[in-house]
Every structure is written in structure tokens, then in C-alpha cells.
Amino acid sequence: MLILLPFQIFSQSNLITSDSAWVSAVEYGINTFISLNHAINDSISLEKWRVKNDSNLREYLNSLDSIYRLEIFAFKKWFSENNIKRRIGPNAYLDTALELEKLFFLPDVFAMIINGARNGTNPRIGTERKKTAEELITKISYSIDTIEHSPDFELEFQSYLTKTKNLRARIFQGSLSQNERLKYRRIDYLLLKNRINN
């Protein structure tokens, strides 16, 4: 499975030959992207969830999602521009482009904002923006109990985890404990649910 960002510089003579190694990765990316869209539709209902009147959870989610989208768009812009400068092969380019599309459709806050490997890659996240995102993540974690849970809420979350487990973006995943990973997956789920409910 090819998961590294393909930032190789190819010469004119070996560009096509080198790029052919990415064909299967692109096919895999297309298939998993299609499956991911089906999984999201199958696991996230259109039913709106409610929060207690004094809760700021929606505000926190909207703010974090705004930062998340800005980072995705900035990274996609940077990657597209570097495709021209570095002459990345078309299949290598499409493999990473598909990974970025997965990160847009299925939020992964740890991968895109928190992971140290991501923060070591251009374009780097601004210090203040990262600090704000971390504060919002903490506030969301403490505010989850303000959701007025319906009987199906936890079942929907578990269905979401199961159906998206092997379809997520492969880049910037890092190493997390099971509890930490679950914490971020719950925040990812709430971001997606909030998008659907808005």
C-alpha cells in the first residue's frame, strides 16, 4: 500500500516509467473513495441531534470545521502548485489528490491539524491557528455530554466507526492509543454530523 506523499522529481526520460507504479494505488483510491461516500450515507442519518440550551457545542464545532477546511484548501492548493514545479507524474498526483479528497469528505482532525508529521510538511499550520484548534478540541471533548442523546445516537456513532474503518485517508495517521484515537474519531463524527445538520 503506497501512503507516502509522492514528491519525487522526475526527469523527462523516466517520468512515465516511474509513474506507472502508482496506477494500482490510484485504482485503490478511486474504489475506496466511492465506498467511503456510500459508508457516510449509510451510517449518518439526516435526523438532527439536539444540545442543551446553554451549550456552545455547535459554535465550537463550526469554528473547528472552519479551521479544518482552511487547512485542507491550503494544502490542496500548495500540492497542486507543486505538481507543476516538481513535475509529479499524473498517477502519483492523483493518488495524493484522492487522499486529500477523503480528508475533506470525512474529517480527520488529528491527521490534518494535530499530527506532528503534518505540521512538518508545507504549508505549515500557523502557531495561533493550531493553538485555537487544540483549544476547540478540548472544549468539544468537555461539551459532548451536552448532547441530548437519542437511543440511536451511540448506535449511529458505532456504525460510522465500523463502516469507515478501512476507508479513511492513509496519510498523516500517526500513532495513537486506542482511547486517543477514539476521542478524535468522535470529534470527527460530530464535525460531519454538524455539517449535515447545518
Residue 149 has a pLDDT of 66
Q: Among 102, 185, 173, 174, which residue's Cα sits nearest to residue 140?
A: 185
Q: Concatenate the DSSP letters of all residues of 40-108 into one string.
A: HHHHS-SPPPEE-TT--HHHHHHHHHHHHHHHHHHHHHHHHHHHHHHT--HHHHHHHHHHHHHHHHS--
Average pLDDT of the residues of the chain = 83
Q: Among 150, 146, 144, which residue's Cα sits nearest to residue 186?
A: 144
- Location of C-alpha cell 492548493: 77
pLDDT tens digits for 129-188?
Answer: 999 999 999 999 988 877 776 667 788 889 999 999 889 888 888 888 899 999 999 999
Residue 10 has a pLDDT of 40
Three-class secondary structure of residue 148 per DSSP: strand
The whole-model pTM stands at 0.84
Examine the pLDDT at 50 and tell me if it is beyond 90: no
Examine the pLDDT at 5 and tell me if it is beyond 60: no
Please give the Cα distance from 172 to 119 (Å, whole number). 10
pLDDT tens digits for 34-46?
Answer: 999 999 888 888 7
